[in-house]
């Protein structure tokens, strides 16, 4: 580890070994599936056993998953099919894992009242922070030290909280430029085609938090899921202005509720995407925090979401310039917990370590607009070190494969 506190493991997989040279989305997905195979097959086998033990009827979930697949761009659907051909698992369970995981967690949670889609109790997850260039510590840029009066690019923090954490492995995903589409670097779920955050090779950052809002009259076949929208923006746009224009070209009623964080080398903005009200509201304050409720329009607002946002704002108060260490400190915060109400979310004792309805922090990512680099921690950030990964360069092997995630889960 270097003097920045960022892990630099020597056991790596080079960009050229598994990424570069893929000339189609299907080929890229096939190579990725081979890399992540052990983690995905373990997760699907675990899910299959639990589904059988709890007598879950998969048919309604499969119907929803298959209808949702119809909304995918053809290139993403081809990528999913290529992955499915690699994994030696139950095909139906894998399809539900890929497209109806939140709904499956609700079935497996047995009345615990906590899942990504269920607003009961202290349900929905993720805590994000956006820092504009004017508030970034000038020494924070990953491209090297800046002068005392210069600002780095905007910074974005995302703590990703998920239900059923033991069966949702995470890996660093790198997609090369394909045809006219930009390359992407992110950390997200092994074996899936959705992306809920990332940076492209042009330095555009996109990340979101889920909001319980949608237009009920829009069928799953027509609804653009958040993970699809973010991936398309990263593949197809290079700047905040381009991303906003593309987002606004979609009928808002077809989108899903989210707060969308966008940043490039000079610009940063937060968009509250509200399909229920059919509007997108802009928040361009210099420091923005969001959890899982709208601030500038109406939405479901849980106690956990309120407490996590208030705590993030408290930690940022009085800080003139903000750097990555400040964001990492926020990500690790245990005030109001550790548990559902803390920013760094841990299992509540009464629901068990791997309860499917319990949301816990699955990964932490810090991005800088304009830089195709990510600092990532797998699992709870209070228990892991940061690893810095850069597009086109070597990445620790256990991050590419999902092995680091799998080892942490199996060792508990």
Domains identified in the chain, total number:
1
82 domain-assigned: no
The reported pLDDT for the residue numbered 351 is 62
State the pLDDT confidence band at 8, using cuts at 50, 70 and 90: very low
CA distance 19 to 311: 39
Is 59 buried (19+), middle (13-18) or exposed (0-12) by CB count in 10 A? exposed
The reported pLDDT for the residue numbered 151 is 53
321 domain-assigned: yes
90 domain-assigned: no
The reported pLDDT for the residue numbered 13 is 84
CATH number, domain containing residue 198: 3.60.60.10
Q: How crowded is residue 120: how many other Cβ atoms within 10 Å of its Cβ?
A: 13
Q: Indicate the SS3 state at residue 172.
A: strand
The reported pLDDT for the residue numbered 109 is 80
Asked if pLDDT for residue 145 goes beyond 80, the answer is: no
158 domain-assigned: yes
Cβ neighbors of 271 (< 8 A, separation 6 or more) are 244, 247, 259, 260, 262, 280, 281, 282, 283
**Backbone angles phi and psi of 348, in degrees to 5:** -75, 140
Cβ neighbors of 363 (< 8 A, separation 6 or more) are 159, 160, 170, 187, 376, 377, 378, 379
Asked if pLDDT for residue 302 goes beyond 90, the answer is: no
Does the predicted TM-score (pTM) go above 0.75?
A: yes
101 domain-assigned: no
The reported pLDDT for the residue numbered 249 is 97
* pLDDT tens by residue, 343-379: 999 887 666 544 677 888 999 999 999 999 999 999 9
The reported pLDDT for the residue numbered 141 is 56
227 domain-assigned: yes
Strands 170-175 and 184-189: antiparallel
What is the extent of the structural domain holding 199?
Answer: 6-18+122-410
The encoded tokens of residue 388 equal: 């810095």
* pLDDT tens by residue, 115-126: 444 443 333 579
The reported pLDDT for the residue numbered 19 is 84
179 domain-assigned: yes
Asked if pLDDT for residue 222 goes beyond 70, the answer is: yes
260 domain-assigned: yes
């Amino acid at each position: 580890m270097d003097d920045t506190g960022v892990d630099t493991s020597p056991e790596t997989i080079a960009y050229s070994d598994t990424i570069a040279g893929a000339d189609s989305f299907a080929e890229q997905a096939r190579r990725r599936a081979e890399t992540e195979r052990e983690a995905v097959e373990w997760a699907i086998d675990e899910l299959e056993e639990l589904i059988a033990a709890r007598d879950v009827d998969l048919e309604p979930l499969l119907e929803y998953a298959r209808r949702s697949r119809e909304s995918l761009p053809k290139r993403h659907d081809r990528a999913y099919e290529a992955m499915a051909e690699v994994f030696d698992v139950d095909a139906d369970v894998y399809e539900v894992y890929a497209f109806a995981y939140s709904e499956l967690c609700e079935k497996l949670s047995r009345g615990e009242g906590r899942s990504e889609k269920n607003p009961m109790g202290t349900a929905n997850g993720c805590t994000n922070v956006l820092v504009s260039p004017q508030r970034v510590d000038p020494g924070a840029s990953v491209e090297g030290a800046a002068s005392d009066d210069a600002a780095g690019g905007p910074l974005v923090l995302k703590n990703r909280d998920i239900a059923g954490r033991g069966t949702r492995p995470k890996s660093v995903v790198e997609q090369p430029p394909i045809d006219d589409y930009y390359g992407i670097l992110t950390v997200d779920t092994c074996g899936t085609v959705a992306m809920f955050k990332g940076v492209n090779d042009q330095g555009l950052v996109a990340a979101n938090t889920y909001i319980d809002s949608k237009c009920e009259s829009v069928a799953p076949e027509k609804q653009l899921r958040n993970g699809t929208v973010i991936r398309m923006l990263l593949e197809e746009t290079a700047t905040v202005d381009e991303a906003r224009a593309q987002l606004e070209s979609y009928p808002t009623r077809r989108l899903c509720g989210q707060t969308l964080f966008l940043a490039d080398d000079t610009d940063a903005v937060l968009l509250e995407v509200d399909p229920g009200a059919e509007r997108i509201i802009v928040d361009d304050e210099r420091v923005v925090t969001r959890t899982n409720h709208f601030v500038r329009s109406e939405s479901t607002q849980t106690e956990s979401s309120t407490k996590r946002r208030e705590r993030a704002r408290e930690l940022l108060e009085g800080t003139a310039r903000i750097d990555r260490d400040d964001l990492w400190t926020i990500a690790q915060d245990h005030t109001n917990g550790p548990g559902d109400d803390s920013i760094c979310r841990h299992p509540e004792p009464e629901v068990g370590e791997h309860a499917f309805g319990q949301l816990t922090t699955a990964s932490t990512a810090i991005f800088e607009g304009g830089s195709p680099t990510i600092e990532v921690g797998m699992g709870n950030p209070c228990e892991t070190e940061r690893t810095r990964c850069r597009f086109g360069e070597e990445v620790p092997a256990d991050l590419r494969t999902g092995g680091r995630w799998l080892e942490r889960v199996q060792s508990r």
